[in-house]
Copies of this chain bind each other. A is one copy, B any other.
Amino acid sequence: MTFDPTTLRYNDAGLIPAIAQDAENGDVLMMAWMNAEAVKRTLETRRVTYWSRSRQAFWIKGESSGHVQDLVDLRVDCDRDCLLILVRQTGPACHTNRRSCFYTSVGDEGETELMKPME
């Protein structure tokens, strides 16, 4: 691999935010965190792999649920401190079984649920 993940800028915990976007329709699906090794594994395996802050372990997205994310493109931002991951998402991205984690809109009347869990 010619790209060196250590050239990215990580926070004090060694993590960088990664935004997962549906490569087909542009929907933003979720945001999670990666460390340098997770970036490396994602690029090498083409299977999106995060670092779970709660479990303090690598998190191959969909490994148990089957709701995997296949990497289409990985992009770094101008400051090299945020990633945009274009993915082919199988099933729901959200643990609530919704396609996207961003299913709640905030408006003048408070919060509105924009989508239901998938069947």
Measuring CB to CB, which residues of chain A are less than 8 angstroms from any residue of chain B?
Answer: 1-3, 17, 19, 21, 25-28, 30-31, 43, 73-79, 82, 84, 94-96, 98, 101-111, 114
**Residue of B43, B96, B102, B106 touching A3 (CB-CB under 8 A):** B106
State whether A78 and B106 are in contact (beta carbons under 8 Å apart), knowing that A26-B25, A84-B28 are contacts in the complex.
Answer: no
Query: Could you say how many copies of this chain the assembly holds?
Result: 2
Bound-state CA distance A39–B27 (Å) is: 22
Contacts of A74 in B (CB 8 A): 105-107
Query: Do A78 and B94 contact each other (CB < 8 Å), given the known contacts A31-B17, A84-B28?
Result: yes
A75 touches B31 (CB 8 A): no
Name which residue of chain B comes closest to A104, CB basis: B76
Give chain B residues whose Cβ lies under 8 Å from the Cβ of A19: 19, 28, 31
